[in-house]
Amino acid sequence: MASEPPATPTRPRKGSAGAGGPRYPGWLALPAVLWYALFFLAPLGILALFSVSERVGFSEVAYNFNLQNFSDLVDPLYGKIFLRTLELAAVGTLLTLLIGFPLAYYIARWGRRKSLLLLLIIVPFWTSMLIRTYAWLILLDPGFATFDVLRWLHLAGENPEVLFTSKAVYIGVVYTYLPLMVLPIYAALERMDWSLVEAAQDLGDGPVTAFRRITLPLAGPGIVAGSLLVFIPMLGEYLNPVILGGDKTIYVGNLIGQQFLDSRDWPFGSAMAMVVIAVMTVVVLLYVRLVSRSQRHAS
Amino acid sequence: MRAKRFFAIYAAFAYAFLYIPIIVVVVLAFNSGRQVLNWEGFSTKWFGEALRDPTITEPLRNSLVVAVGTAVIACVVGTALALALSRMRPRVRAPVDAIVYMTLVTPEIVFGISALILFVQAGIPLGLNTILVAHAVFNISVVTLIVRARFVGMSADLEEASYDLGVPPLKTFWRVTLPRLSPAIFAGGLLAFTFSFDDFLTSFFVSGAGSPTLPLRIFSSLRFGVSPVINATAVMILALTLAAVIVAYVVLRRSSGQRAGDIPTLPA
């Protein structure tokens, strides 16, 4: 990243302990901090407040403190939806990793026009998620050529039922988040010294052993970062179940959406969102611990 | 080498997986038939039809207004934050950093409903202004990360000289820092524009009833299935965002030799 040599400070100054770059006054952070406080932290605060409040009448809310919303969530019906969502996020992350790792590996080790290959990964990530999702509405249509090809390859039966099932949701989330898995793994593998792998193989390690002993430890941080980036949005996935799942299988994101759009029980929906935040926090803390441990190992 | 060939073939399939859906939408937008799946010949008529349909052009205008506004706010506020962050004491910087990443990682549905609650409770009428304010939250972070990646790699010599000559920070910024930072700010702005223009879920919750953006318009019409007009609209969106992303990518690479992996929003 550092394309210019680091500056040697002419004299030590207070506040020059940061990450580098020319010196600018700290008050420049104020507009952003204010914006975050008003429109990001305050909303999350009100969300927390709502989750312990109760609905009065059709859509009024009475602020108070009780955990009724959370105890209402302890119900087999909601438990099933939460478990289903965890499964989607876990299996979806695993599938994304299995599909994404070899791709990142190829680009890092053998890719010839790396910047073009990476651009081709980045472009879908910055392309409308909505359009990329509804494209599968066409591809998974039983009348579309996809299934002719699959039938010809004997990979599909006569009447494949994929669209508007959970299979379509899985395809959709893997497709949506694949770039987020590939990029950090690539970033980790980019620093690899591939001659190490060749040396290990020359010394009699099989490819699998060489992979496990050399590639995997180096790719580890990338794998963990990619999994985090993919797992969290899958926890709150909304679009794929609605568009590709035909809104038939409900996940937590849809359940939250329903509380805010249809049934207008905002406090109950807020409690669900708090559960998502709790799971997310646990995952992020695990990530931070993993990272700091591997950094300690490295040093 | 056998392994290399195997991986190359695999990569080709993976890229096909990433691009075939997009290509299919693009190709079918040029299908002259009313039935999306039956190819009846090449035609550009659906683009004309889309551009004559006020229920598409009005949301298009809304989306452009919101995306441009978001990008401008994100550039100004995000650049200022990037400048301030790099020399902050770690104890002050760490929590701000954490918030920057949080705005990008928090599931959009959680952010969308939180913002909705805030706006409604504060009595702010929902509309384009609330969409813009909400979009700016995560796009300030996008610009901050991209500008800071460039900024921390810059030598401080010129700025120190400027300060030593008694030039105040703002003037130093205009004369010395901004020219070197402008590619990163420009690229960050383009990406913020794209992010806002494409956003569905946040807009979905904070838009209210009257003023849909283009993704909201497309979403509501998907209830009746995919139509050629919607495909044509999608292709116009794709073209616009594709151009923005490629320009941002090229500008960033040219300007700084940054690693390509730095461009998306990676907390890694």
Residues A156, A167: Cα–Cα separation, whole Å: 14
Which structure tokens are listed for B134? 């909400």
Residues in contact with B55: Cβ distance below 8 Å, sequence separation at least 6, in sequence order: B217
| Run of H or E including A56 | strand A54-56
Percentage with pLDDT > 70 across chain A? 91
> Is the confidence metric ipTM above 0.85 for this complex?
yes
A24, A100, A260 ranked by CB distance to B116: nearest:
A260
- Report domain extents, chain A: 85-250
For every residue of A238-277, DSSP letters joined together read: -HHHHHTSTT-S--HHHHHHHHHHTS--HHHHHHHHHHHH
Confirm or reject contact between B151 and chain A (CB < 8 A). Answer: yes
Q: How many other β-carbons are positioned within 10 Å of the β-carbon of residue B173? A: 20
**In the structure, what pLDDT confidence band is assigned to residue A2 with cuts at 50, 70 and 90?**
very low
Among 3.30.70.360, 1.25.50.10, 1.10.3720.10, 1.10.1280.10, name the CATH number for the domain at A85-250.
1.10.3720.10
Residues B150, B246: Cα–Cα separation, whole Å: 18
pLDDT per residue as tens digits for the range A184-238? 999 999 988 888 888 888 888 888 888 888 888 889 989 999 999 999 999 999 9
- A166 vs chain B: nearest CA distance in angstroms? 18
- Report domain extents, chain B: 61-222+231-262
Stretch 8-37 of chain B: residues touching chain A, C-beta under 8 Å: 8, 10-11, 14-15, 17-22, 24-25, 28, 36-37
Residues A68, A77: Cα–Cα separation, whole Å: 16
- At B58, is the secondary structure helix, strand, or coil? helix
Give me the pLDDT at residue B228, please: 92
pTM for the structure as a whole: 0.90
Residues A133, B252: Cα–Cα separation, whole Å: 28
Render each residue's pLDDT in chain B as its tens digit; 268 residues.
688 899 999 999 999 999 999 999 999 999 998 888 888 899 999 999 999 999 999 999 999 999 999 999 999 999 999 999 987 888 889 999 999 999 999 999 999 999 999 999 999 999 999 999 999 999 999 999 999 988 888 888 888 888 899 988 888 889 889 999 999 999 999 999 999 999 999 999 999 888 899 999 999 999 888 899 999 999 999 999 999 999 999 998 887 654 444 444 433 3
Type of residue numbered A30: L
- The superfamily (CATH) of domain B61-222+231-262 is MetI-like (1.10.3720.10)
- B167 vs chain A: nearest CA distance in angstroms? 12
Which structure tokens are listed for B177? 């820092």
